[in-house]
Structure 1
Amino acid sequence: MGILFLLFAVMPIVEIALLIQVGGVIGGWNTVAIVIVTAFIGAYLVRREGLSTLQAAQQKMNQGQMPGEELAQGLLLLVAGVLLVTPGFVTDFIGLLFTVPVTRKLIGKALLVKLLQSKHATVQFSHTQQFHQHYQARNKADDGDIIEGEYHAHDEQNKPQLPNEDKH
């Protein structure tokens, strides 16, 4: 409850007060320009870092490893993106901390450790080469009836095999 109160009640007040103070020193339009520029730069940085984090996670999954740190960093990048496009200097600073690789890795590791120590976290990861497809198809017949069907891929080429199909 305390953290939510800080986020939704105190933080906007702090941001508004800081924006007014900075606007009084450098001017209102200059302050608005800084807020807009930081949003664009932040969006660019989050995208660039997000793609590299996604690639690292995919590499770990291909090796059959759990990409825990990469998932934590991805969560931080998601939060950073929201913070960087939110007008304000405090949110921009925190978003920048979550975006810079050095601080993001440190915060991500701490977040992962805290999550794993939590009694509410369960981690499961499996890596298999077997692929199973399940589709439901709905086709409308000429007479207006709806025909439902499904099939499962059972062979190596993932060729659909219909349930009533004759096997040669």
Structure 2
Amino acid sequence: MRALPLLLLIYPFAEIAALVALAGRIGGFAVFMLVILSSLLGLWMLRNQKLGALLTLGSVLRQGDKVSLYSLLWPLRYALAGLLFLLPGLLSDLAAILLLLPLKGPDIQLRTAGPSPGPAAGPAQNGDIIEGEYHRVDEDTPPGRRLQ
């Protein structure tokens, strides 16, 4: 937990160093245009992910009993990737691209049916039948003793 503030302090310097190193190789204008285009891409992704998230969730739930956890979290990954594209820098763009990769994670079991029936709901097995007689007794309870 102590490393998180240190990483938050180092991150901007690492982004600037990566931008300067890339600008030395391909030129400052190209790096500037790369930053502008990635920011526009992130803005576009965040603006157009509202309905897409609902459609993705609906299609994932229609797939069947087993669904990948990563496909359930796809709308969240997509929004986080859009936010990372908005940030200027190469490291954030690389992290956004990694979030957008179609990875298949572990399957989770969806419970599509209702709750499992209890022992009384199923058919009787091996002498589970108890026979007997009953009669109903209705007591007239005075109004002061009733629970309400």
TM-score by length of 1: 0.49
Query: How many residues were matched structurally?
Result: 111
Specify the alignment match of 1:4 in structure 2: 4
Residue identity in the other structure for 1:11:
Y
Runs (4 or more) in structure 1 with deviation over 3 Å come to 42-53, 59-71
Residue identity in the other structure for 2:87:
T
User: Is the Cα–Cα contact under 8 Å of residues 45 and 79 in structure 2 kept in the other structure?
Assistant: no
Assess, with a 3 A threshold, how the Cα gap between structure 1 residues 22 and 92 changes in structure 2: closer, same or farther. same
Residue identity in the other structure for 1:38:
S
Residue identity in the other structure for 1:91:
S
Assess, with a 3 A threshold, how the Cα gap between structure 1 residues 89 and 66 changes in structure 2: closer, same or farther. same
Structure-1 separation of matches of 2:63 and 2:98: 30
Residue identity in the other structure for 1:82:
L
Deviation at 1:92, TM superposition (A): 0.3
Structure-1 separation of matches of 2:4 and 2:63: 39
Deviation at 1:85, TM superposition (A): 0.7
Structure-1 separation of matches of 2:51 and 2:70: 15
What residue ranges of structure 1 are gaps of 5+ in the alignment? 114-123, 128-168
Identity of aligned residues (%): 27
Assess, with a 3 A threshold, how the Cα gap between structure 1 residues 55 and 30 changes in structure 2: closer, same or farther. same
RMSD over aligned Cα, in angstroms? 3.7
What residue ranges of structure 2 are gaps of 5+ in the alignment? 115-148
- Pair 1:29-2:29 in alignment: yes
Deviation at 1:27, TM superposition (A): 2.7
Show CA shifts across 1:62-118 (max 9, x none). Answer: 789797544412221121111111001111011012124x2xx43xx36x98xxxxx
Specify the alignment match of 1:99 in structure 2: 100
Specify the alignment match of 1:84 in structure 2: 85
User: Is the Cα–Cα contact under 8 Å of residues 23 and 31 in structure 1 kept in the other structure?
Assistant: yes
Structure-2 separation of matches of 1:33 and 1:44: 16
Structure-1 separation of matches of 2:14 and 2:65: 42
Q: Which has the greater radius of gyration?
A: 2
SS at match of 1:87: coil
Specify the alignment match of 1:41 in structure 2: 41
User: Is the Cα–Cα contact under 8 Å of residues 56 and 75 in structure 2 kept in the other structure?
Assistant: no
Assess, with a 3 A threshold, how the Cα gap between structure 1 residues 45 and 97 changes in structure 2: closer, same or farther. farther
Q: Which has the higher strand share?
A: 1
User: Is the Cα–Cα contact under 8 Å of residues 15 and 90 in structure 1 kept in the other structure?
Assistant: yes
Assess, with a 3 A threshold, how the Cα gap between structure 1 residues 60 and 89 changes in structure 2: closer, same or farther. closer
User: Is the Cα–Cα contact under 8 Å of residues 60 and 72 in structure 2 kept in the other structure?
Assistant: no
Show CA shifts across 1:24-64 (max 9, x none). Answer: 23332321111111222344456667754431312455789
Assess, with a 3 A threshold, how the Cα gap between structure 1 residues 47 and 28 changes in structure 2: closer, same or farther. same
Deviation at 1:17, TM superposition (A): 0.4
User: Is the Cα–Cα contact under 8 Å of residues 53 and 70 in structure 1 kept in the other structure?
Assistant: no
